[in-house]
Each structure stands twice: as structure tokens, then as C-alpha cells.
Chain A
Amino acid sequence: MKRMLRERWNRFFFTEEVPYGLALVRMCLPLALLIPLIPRWPHARELFSTDGAAAPLWESFGFPGLLPIPSGPLAVALCTLLGWSLVALAIGWRSRTAAAIAALLTAYLGMLDMLGSLTKYTCIATHVLLLLALSPCGAVWSVDAWLCRSPAPWPQAPAGRQRRYALWPQRLIQWLFAIIYFAAAMTKLQTPFFVTGDQLYFWLLTNVNFANPLGEWLSLYPPMLVVMGLITIVWEILFPFLCWRGISKWCMLTIGAAFHVMTALMLGLIVFPLVCLACYWAFVTEAEMQRLLVWVRRLNRRWFRRAVRGGRPLPVSAPPPAWASPQASAVTFAAAAAVLIGLGLELEHWLDPYQARRGGAPHTPPVIAPELARRMLSGTERIQVRDKVFGFDVGSRTLGGLLADSKAEFRHGQRAIIECTVVPPHEDLWLEVNLHDARNRLIERTGQVMTRERIRSHFFFEMSERYPAGEYELVLLIEGQEVSRRRIAIREQRPGSAPPGSDAAGPPRVSSRDFDSIPRDVTSFRRDS
């Protein structure tokens, strides 16, 4: 048993492969991380230094002084060095050194600015960069490989030409993602109202990320969000069990890729999905990469009608010049870093964000209009009732506990479902829904208590023949004041259809004796006016 476990462990972590997957992670991840770094660089002094307003994570955790906060020039130098290490890592120049520097600085600079730089993608990137620093990520498709005089191995080259390495760094990246997704599923299960779609719904309406027009449009279809939320939870739970090999791995990765693309389109996230998708390359094995590249080459030949290159030798990069030894490479790498840091310091000095060195008039803080300031500093107001009400919708069917359609015309015998959405925080409320006729006369009144922990209440109206065909309005009242109105129309039953009250015409009218048979959150108290 012990031997079998050891064999499995060794097979899992120490099988040797050409690290194509790691090479692709090495190339893609730094490019994704440069996207947030470049706009932050001109603000490095303000974000990360004692000459600005650093917001260290350790202070938030109650550990003041855990790590030093750098001075302004040092912060600029570190930010420049991080940029340089990411570029070097992407091209595979001193890959392991660059990855180690990038891991260290991504974590340190992130922790120095927990307001505007530290997010969970910073943490994921730190883990992956650390693992890249311990891996042979520069063994293929890199400047390092070129300098080592090993011909850049093409995946179709004979196996003997390529050096293989143990798989464990790649496996640890896979484990990292398995645990991240599993933990994310636990977060969702612990979050109230995720399963009902409300959390996702309000994230779609949140404007802290980039533009998300698709998300705003999808907010019109809440039942779809319930379904998407459930799929996400199931996928995240299954990921650690199915992500290792075969068809199930590709299913998990495809759903994952779709999930991350949707977070970009629906939530306006940019860097997080790019970081995750870059790391997905760690799931690709040597054999899969060979198949993929063969397929890409075939596709390329077919689509672009290139000359058939089957008979030609595989492309081999030119050997490096004699002076470009690995030792010279290390010196050049350090020299390039030093030069770039010097240039960065000079450029930042020239940019002069605080206008301290140009000799002009110093900045002055903008003045706030007195009325606005007075409004800001007056006491905290209670939320107005109209802001508590998020929706007052009419439809005829529900899905996942939410109204699934929107309807404004009903026929005699049909049932209208009215959904009132009141967002937290709210007190225990008495909700009243009244039916008014075309002349605004109250003809039906119904109400129910909405306790503070609930978000939705459903009312049912049987459109019986006691309401003559015509135009009506449904009016929502909370605390006695009108909050919202919806116009509906009641029409005669179509000739030949079943009479009201029969099964075909919909369920019977809700009455007090039916209360026990209806779920608690949709019962309505009804009294005739």
C-alpha cells in the first residue's frame, strides 16, 4: 500500500516532460501583470512610499511596522524593477531570477497599497511567480534556452533533442487553482443570497470595475443569474476532482475559460480573468501541446495556403554569438536593470507629481461648495422608501423563486404574480398592493408583512370575471405611501377557451384556507375592499 502510494506520488509529481505549459505561463502571466503596473508606475511615489499615502496591509491586520515602507525614490526604483523583471520573464531572460524578483515585488508592492493595488489576482500571481522561480520555465522558447545553445525545441522535434524536467511545479500550479476554485465555492455557499442570484445581480449593477454593459443588460433576466450561479458553484466544487486529465479536464478548463470571460463581460474585470487564463496553460501536457501545435500548423496551411513545409526541416533558431554566454547574460541582465532603474528615477523626477521641483506655484486643494459641504456633514439620513424598493414587477410564472416573465395583459381566469423586491437593510414592513381601475378607484386591496431578512414578496391576483375587462393599475404602498405603479390590462377570455375556475384556466383563486398549502414566502393576506 505504502509502495503503491509512493509510486503514485512519484508518478504524479515527478513524471518528466518538456515544460511547454510552464513556458506559456511564463510568457503570458507577466504580460497580464504589466496591465495594472503601467498605469500605477507614475503614481508609485504616492501609492507605495512614505512620501505619499501608502496603505499597508499589515496595518489593517493590526501589525504596524511589520515591514518597512520605502522612501519615494526607492518606491519608484522598486516599481521600475518589477516592470523590468516582468518583461524579462516574458521573454525568458534569466527566467528564474526574474520570476523570483517579480514574486517578491508583486507581493511587497501589493501589500504596501491595499486600497489600489492588492487584490486576489495579486495573490494568485505571487504564488504562480514563486512556483515559476523554482521551475525550469525558461527551458524552452526563451532567451535562456537560446543562450544555452540548446536549439529551441519545436514540439514535433524528435524526443531525444529535448530535455525533460519533473512535473511538480506545474502540478503545484494546478493544485493552487483547484484549491482556489474550491474555496471560492465555499465562499459562495457561505454568502447569503448567492443561490437566489441576488449577490450576482447586485454585482452586475456595481460600478467599481470597468464598464460591463452585458452585465447590466443581463440584470433584466434574474432567473438566468440563478442558473449561472448554480452552474458556477457546481463547476467550482467539481474542479479539484476532475481537472487532472482526459476529457473531464478539458470540460473543466472550457467552463473555467467561459466563466472568466463572463466575469470580464458581466462584471467589468480585466486583469483577474487574464491572470487566471494565463495560468491555465499549466494544465497543458507535453503531448497535448504537440497535438495542439500540429493542429495549428495544419490549420495555418489550409487557411492561408502557405507552401507545404512538410518536407523542410523544422525551424531551428540561429545559435547565439560567441560572446553571449550565460555569465555575460547575467551581467547584462543586472546592468540593464540598473540602467532602467536610473532612467525610471530620472523620468519620475521630471514628471514631478507634487510640483515640488519645477519651481512653479504649488498645488492648492480644491474648494468644496459650502452647500455641498453642509449636506455632507449633516447627520445620517434614513434610507427613503423609494430607494428601498428595487422592483415591482408583474408576471405569470416563477423560476427559482423569482419572477420569470414580465406581463402586462391578462385574460379572465389567469393569475398575475406580483413580485415586490425590497433591498436590505429595511425594517419589518407592511406591503400593500392595490388594484385601481382606469379612473383610479381602489377596487382591490391586499397586503402582507415583509420581515427584515426577506428581499422578495409575492402577491397573487386571480383575474376573475369580477373585474370587467379594461385598463387597471397595480399600486404598491409601503408605510402608507405610494411607491410604485404598474399598468396592466384585463381582457375577456378568448372564445372557446375553458371557463375561469377550471384547470385549464389556471389555479383557483387564493383564499384564506389555501394559506397552508402555499410556501410561506408567497402567501398573501387578502381582504376585499
Chain B
Amino acid sequence: MRRLRTNLFVTAYLGVLGFGLAAHALTFLKTCHPAMYFIVWDMFCGWSAYETRCEVIGEGDSGTYYQLAPGPWGEIRPFGSAERRDYDVYGQFGHRLAANTLRHTEHEPIRRIYIVEKAWAKKYNLPEPVWELRYQTPKPTEFPCYYHVRAIYNDQGVCLHRVEDWLKTQYELCVLDNPRLRSDMRKGHTFFASNPRDRQSEVIQTVNYESTDTE
């Protein structure tokens, strides 16, 4: 009986691992349940040539801006150099970090909460000696950082505005750098859509295909 139970467990365990492998290989049911995270092994599945960080800022009634993450009690760098908020790649929890800071601090009434992405080219991460070997020029002391407002929340935590992340926005801008494509897109009409990833969201965005807020 004990051997039978063990055999059943071994078979079931290998079956679960095999299911995770198949789900990963076929990109099928990969995100159907949080438990899938524990059986799908897709480490280092992406890359980008730009480093991004997340800023959470609040705008007070007086027009003063406050840093709402990390909280004034100290930052958490969970895996090395980046702060905890920087791992919010889907921009889902920024408002919660802000709400926690506001709950435990004294401040004027906050009108808006902004989730801002900051990005820079990874080549500027090279240390100075390596930069000089690589580019044969001194490393610039200042380099451009790009900012991108990812989401805006009101004082009640209701999302007022939300767009794709900085990198996707830049891809979109590059693809849209095509007069024929833009002309074809304008033949469509506006419609309402909510983000399917955010199933419980109150966000209703007014969008067309060119939803990015660009200069």
C-alpha cells in the first residue's frame, strides 16, 4: 500500500513537472493560474538594451511633488542594486506602494499619484575604464534619461490614465514612423477598451491605436 502511494506521488509529481514543461514549450495555459509560476521555468526570457527604473510621486494640493516610494523609513534593495519598486514591470503595484507611504506619513492632501518610468541606455552602465576601452573616449558625466508617465491615480486610488511601458511605447513610435501606416490607422475609429491583464481594474481608457502620449 505504501509503495502504491509512493508510486502515485512520483507519477503525479513527474506529471506536474511535465505539464509545466509542455505549457512552457507550447505557450499554452502558462498564466492560467498563479501555481503555474512554480512549474514553468522561463528564467531570463527577455532582454532590453535600456535600463528602467520606477518613480512613484505624489502631487499635493499646493503643487508640491513628493517621493512616495521608497517610504521615508528606508528603501529595500531585494536583489542587489535596484529598489523594490523597480521590479514592478507591469506597473501594477505602484499605487499600493504610494498608498502605504501616505498611510504612514504626515502630508498635505495629495491630489494625484504618478507612476513614472525612467530609462537610460545600458551602455552608460559600463564602468569608466571599460567604457574607455570600448569607445576610446571618456565616459560622459551626464547622459540622457527618459521619463514616461505610466499611470496616474487620483486621491482615492482610482486609475485615471494608464499606458504601456516605456519600451513598448518606443517600439510603437518606431513602427508608427511610417506615413502609410498612420494614414491607414486613422481610417479606424475610437473605441473603449480595458486592459485584459488587469481583470479587476476600474480603468476604462479612451483609446485609439495611437494611444501614446508623445511629444
- Residue positions of A touching B, CB distance < 8 A: 13-14, 36, 40, 43, 46-47, 52-55, 57-64, 66, 107, 111, 115-120, 123, 126-127, 134, 166, 168, 171-172, 175-176, 179-180, 182-184, 186-188, 190-191, 193, 198-199, 202-203, 205-211, 213, 216-217, 219-220, 268, 270, 353-356, 361-368, 370, 373, 375-384, 387, 390-391, 423-428, 452, 486-487
Minimum C-beta distance from B176 to chain A (A) = 9
Q: With a CB–CB cut-off of 8 A, which chain A residues contact B85?
A: 115
Minimum C-beta distance from A411 to chain B (A) = 21
Minimum C-beta distance from A471 to chain B (A) = 14
Q: With a CB–CB cut-off of 8 A, which chain B residues contact A193?
A: 47
The distance in angstroms between the C-alpha atoms of A361 and B107, with both chains bound, is: 12
Q: With a CB–CB cut-off of 8 A, which chain A residues contact B3?
A: 14
Additional A-B contact list (16), CB under 8 Å, known A377-B149, A380-B213:
A46-B76, A54-B96, A62-B199, A120-B41, A123-B39, A179-B21, A184-B41, A205-B51, A206-B122, A270-B80, A364-B72, A364-B106, A378-B147, A380-B212, A426-B174, A452-B175
Cβ contact of B100, chosen from A52, A198, A368, A425, cutoff 8 A: A52
Tell whether, in the assembled complex, residue B33 and residue A364 are in contact, meaning their CB atoms are under 8 Å apart.
Answer: no
- Interface residues of B, count at CB 8 A: 106
Tell whether, in the assembled complex, residue B38 and residue A367 are in contact, meaning their CB atoms are under 8 Å apart.
Answer: no
Q: With a CB–CB cut-off of 8 A, which chain A residues contact B127?
A: 213, 216
Q: Total number of A-B contacts with CB less than 8 angstroms?
A: 277
By CB atoms of chain B within 10 A, which of A115, A210, A270, A364 has the most? A115
The distance in angstroms between the C-alpha atoms of A55 and B72, with both chains bound, is: 19
Q: With a CB–CB cut-off of 8 A, which chain B residues contact A378?
A: 147, 215
Tell whether, in the assembled complex, residue A119 and residue B170 are in contact, meaning their CB atoms are under 8 Å apart.
Answer: no
Please judge, given known A-B contacts A64-B200, A368-B65, whether A58 and B34 are in contact too, CB under 8 Å: yes
The distance in angstroms between the C-alpha atoms of A66 and B71, with both chains bound, is: 27
Q: With a CB–CB cut-off of 8 A, which chain A residues contact B39?
A: 123
Judge whether B104 is part of the interface by a CB distance below 8 angstroms: yes
The distance in angstroms between the C-alpha atoms of A193 and B39, with both chains bound, is: 25
Q: With a CB–CB cut-off of 8 A, which chain A residues contact B144?
A: 384, 387
Tell whether, in the assembled complex, residue A13 and residue B147 are in contact, meaning their CB atoms are under 8 Å apart.
Answer: no
Tell whether, in the assembled complex, residue A353 and residue B78 are in contact, meaning their CB atoms are under 8 Å apart.
Answer: no
Please judge, given known A-B contacts A115-B93, A175-B14, A205-B126, whether A220 and B146 are in contact too, CB under 8 Å: no
Cβ contact of A452, chosen from B38, B123, B174, cutoff 8 A: B174
Nearest-CB residue, chain B, relative to A53: B100
The main secondary structure of chain B at its interface with chain A is mixed
By CB atoms of chain A within 10 A, which of B51, B90, B93 has the most? B93
Cβ contact of B47, chosen from A182, A198, A379, A384, cutoff 8 A: A198
Tell whether, in the assembled complex, residue A55 and residue B17 are in contact, meaning their CB atoms are under 8 Å apart.
Answer: no
Judge whether B207 is part of the interface by a CB distance below 8 angstroms: no
The distance in angstroms between the C-alpha atoms of A452 and B80, with both chains bound, is: 33
Minimum C-beta distance from B107 to chain A (A) = 6
Cβ contact of B65, chosen from A356, A364, A370, cutoff 8 A: A370
Cβ contact of B43, chosen from A184, A216, A427, cutoff 8 A: A184
Minimum C-beta distance from A482 to chain B (A) = 14
The distance in angstroms between the C-alpha atoms of A47 and B81, with both chains bound, is: 18
Please judge, given known A-B contacts A62-B200, A115-B87, whether A187 and B65 are in contact too, CB under 8 Å: no
Q: With a CB–CB cut-off of 8 A, which chain A residues contact B102?
A: 365
Judge whether B142 is part of the interface by a CB distance below 8 angstroms: no
Q: With a CB–CB cut-off of 8 A, which chain B residues contact A361?
A: 106
Please judge, given known A-B contacts A175-B14, A364-B107, whether A377 and B114 are in contact too, CB under 8 Å: yes
Interface residues of B in 120-154 (CB under 8 A from A): 120-123, 125-127, 130, 133-134, 136, 143-144, 146-149
Tell whether, in the assembled complex, residue A363 and residue B105 are in contact, meaning their CB atoms are under 8 Å apart.
Answer: yes
A selection of 8 A-B contacts at a CB cut-off of 8 Å is A52-B100, A53-B93, A120-B43, A127-B38, A186-B25, A208-B79, A362-B104, A376-B116
By CB atoms of chain B within 10 A, which of A190, A193, A373 has the most? A373
Please judge, given known A-B contacts A47-B76, A176-B17, whether A382 and B173 are in contact too, CB under 8 Å: yes
Q: With a CB–CB cut-off of 8 A, which chain A residues contact B40?
A: 183
Tell whether, in the assembled complex, residue B170 and residue A383 are in contact, meaning their CB atoms are under 8 Å apart.
Answer: yes
Q: With a CB–CB cut-off of 8 A, which chain B residues contact A47?
A: 76, 84
Q: With a CB–CB cut-off of 8 A, which chain A residues contact B175?
A: 452
Judge whether B197 is part of the interface by a CB distance below 8 angstroms: yes
Tell whether, in the assembled complex, residue A205 and residue B123 are in contact, meaning their CB atoms are under 8 Å apart.
Answer: yes
Minimum C-beta distance from B125 to chain A (A) = 5
Judge whether B206 is part of the interface by a CB distance below 8 angstroms: no
Cβ contact of A180, chosen from B41, B90, B169, B199, cutoff 8 A: B41
The distance in angstroms between the C-alpha atoms of A203 and B48, with both chains bound, is: 8
Minimum C-beta distance from B64 to chain A (A) = 6
Judge whether B159 is part of the interface by a CB distance below 8 angstroms: no
Tell whether, in the assembled complex, residue B37 and residue A123 are in contact, meaning their CB atoms are under 8 Å apart.
Answer: yes
Minimum C-beta distance from A380 to chain B (A) = 5
Cβ contact of B73, chosen from A63, A202, A363, A382, cutoff 8 A: A363
Q: With a CB–CB cut-off of 8 A, which chain B residues contact A43?
A: 76
The distance in angstroms between the C-alpha atoms of A475 and B144, with both chains bound, is: 22
The distance in angstroms between the C-alpha atoms of A407 and B25, with both chains bound, is: 43
Q: With a CB–CB cut-off of 8 A, which chain B residues contact A134?
A: 9
Tell whether, in the assembled complex, residue A216 and residue B126 are in contact, meaning their CB atoms are under 8 Å apart.
Answer: yes
Judge whether B1 is part of the interface by a CB distance below 8 angstroms: no
The distance in angstroms between the C-alpha atoms of A396 and B166, with both chains bound, is: 37
Q: With a CB–CB cut-off of 8 A, which chain A residues contact B177?
A: 427-428
Judge whether B101 is part of the interface by a CB distance below 8 angstroms: yes
The distance in angstroms between the C-alpha atoms of A325 and B28, with both chains bound, is: 52
Tell whether, in the assembled complex, residue B24 and residue A183 are in contact, meaning their CB atoms are under 8 Å apart.
Answer: yes
The distance in angstroms between the C-alpha atoms of A47 and B76, with both chains bound, is: 9
Judge whether B214 is part of the interface by a CB distance below 8 angstroms: yes
Nearest-CB residue, chain B, relative to A118: B37
Tell whether, in the assembled complex, residue A353 and residue B73 are in contact, meaning their CB atoms are under 8 Å apart.
Answer: yes
Q: With a CB–CB cut-off of 8 A, which chain B residues contact A381?
A: 146-147, 215
Tell whether, in the assembled complex, residue A183 and residue B20 are in contact, meaning their CB atoms are under 8 Å apart.
Answer: yes
Cβ contact of B104, chosen from A62, A180, A356, cutoff 8 A: A356
Q: With a CB–CB cut-off of 8 A, which chain A residues contact B34?
A: 57-58, 60-61, 63, 66, 111
